[in-house]
Amino acid sequence: MRFRNGSRGSTLAVRLGLAAAVSIGLVGCGSQAATSSPAGPSLSPSVAPTATLAPTATPVPVNLKDISGTRYFGTAVNDRLLGSDAEFTKLLNAQFSQVTAENAMKWGPLEPTQGNIDWTAADALVASAQANGQKVRGHTLVWHSQLPTFISDGHLTKAQLNDTVKAHIEAEMGRYKGKIYAWDVVNEAFNDDGTMRQSVFETTLGDGYIADAFRWAHAADPAAKLYINDYDTDDINPKSDGLYALVKKLKADGVPIDGVGFQAHLDLENNPPAKMAENLQRFAALGVEVAITELDVRLATPSTPDKLKTQADYYKLVVEACVSTPACVGITVWGISDRDSWVPMTFPGKGDADLYDASFKTKPAYDAVVQALEAAAK
């Protein structure tokens, strides 16, 4: 149920009682039928409340950002859509209290050739976030992927790469100093077996590149929360064990790391991360905050009602893991609608991973997220 009474915040069905809810069409209609507004569900005129409702029972759409309590609820933002796609932009600002640049703050898109930095898209995102009261997660400073060729081709010496990474961190964090809540300083540093990924940074600079990056980042913006972020570390497994050991060591060594991001790019063909809450809590016990940073749940297309229901269960599990962990500061989904998701391009045959379908209608996953957030708020 996604309608709430504006004055009390209870669900409208609960407030009216089941019979009244049925009489105005809130119960028994399919999920899609009740959810036609791009900015969230709203009552259609044909089922508008009548005199049977108390005067205070003006239904209002539920927005994710309004029901997530002290946590933010955010999304990745595709810079091609921001401002130019009205439906996307309206939904973005109605539903979400945090944004992450899907690509615009990555090294390659930002500085395709050395010294030629184009800040246009990143600036626009930060300005939009400020205008709409949204936190920004900076993503990402040191990552093996989407690098400019002058870094990825491996021709720089250890000293040169060291200086170039430091200058990159200083330039990007310096530009947005005070405007970014948290930075993914290092992204995807691990292999599936928990060993270090042999990226150009690891092979040229050695293990110490991670601690160095965090120290430079802290100097560049001492107020920003500094994160390490990865995928397939959502459950307790060899990869998350490797990450856990590293974070423990960084903390013991006094490295300024503040948080661990769990991407949560899930796939219905894999088991859900059953121990995610336990996993988040073991990291939190190291003295860091944690966040769900890139949540989506892909499936083999075409979707079916059964798949969408299972997808909703995966979303629910992740949201519940976060809201049951005091150190979990927020949840970010990786895009708003199935129309714009990165999934079909990256995983052929997979898709429909988001909370909204390609027509910007909410899916069962959206309802499940609302339920999990509302249950946590009680």
Note whether 355 and 366 are within 8 A (CB): yes
Count of beta carbons in the 10 Å neighbourhood of residue 373: 23
At 330, the amino acid letter reads: G
Is residue 342 within the footprint of ligand XIL (CB under 6 A)?
yes
The DSSP-derived string for 263-282 is: --EEETTS---TTHHHHHHH
Tell me how far, at minimum, the Cβ of 103 lies from ligand XIL, in Å.
Answer: 5
Q: Which of 111, 172, 289, 294 is catalytic?
A: 294
Instruction: Enumerate residues 6+ apart whose C-beta is below 8 A from 85.
Output: none
User: Closer CB to ligand XIL, residue 31 or residue 103?
Assistant: 103
| 4 vs 168 by CB, closer to ligand XIL | 168
Instruction: Determine which residue in the list 24, 72, 96, 102 makes contact with ligand XIL, applying CB under 6 A.
Output: 102
Q: Does 294 bind ligand XIL (CB under 6 A)?
A: yes
Question: In angstroms, what is the minimal distance from the CB of 31 to ligand XIL?
Answer: 26
234 binds ligand XIL (CB under 6 A): no
The two tokens of residue 162 are 């060291």
Task: Verify binding: residue 332, ligand XIL, rule CB under 6 A.
Answer: no
Q: Can you spell out the DSSP letters for 102-146?
A: SSTTSHHHH-SBTTB---HHHHHHHHHHHHTT-EEEEEEEEESSS
Closer Cβ to ligand XIL, 15 or 298, answer by number: 298
**Minimum distance of ligand XIL from residue 192's CB (angstroms):** 15
Least spacing, CB of residue 189 vs ligand XIL, in Å: 11
User: What is residue 47's DSSP assignment?
Assistant: G
The verdict on whether 294 is a catalytic residue reads yes
User: Which of the residues 57 through 76 are near ligand XIL (CB under 6 A)?
Assistant: none
Element at 332 (helix H, strand E): strand 328-333
Identify whether the C-beta of residue 95 lies closer than 8 Å to the C-beta of residue 65.
yes
Binding status of residue 162 toward ligand XIL by CB under 6 A? no
Tell me the pairing of strands 328-333 and 259-262. Answer: unpaired
114-153 footprint of ligand XIL as x/- string (CB under 6 A): ----------------------------------------
Q: Which of 5, 95, 103, 233 binds ligand XIL (CB under 6 A)?
A: 103
Catalytic site residue 188?
yes
d(CA 156, CA 293): 31
> Could you list the residues that contact ligand XIL (CB under 6 A)?
102-103, 187, 231, 263, 265, 294, 342
Active site (catalytic) residues: 188, 294
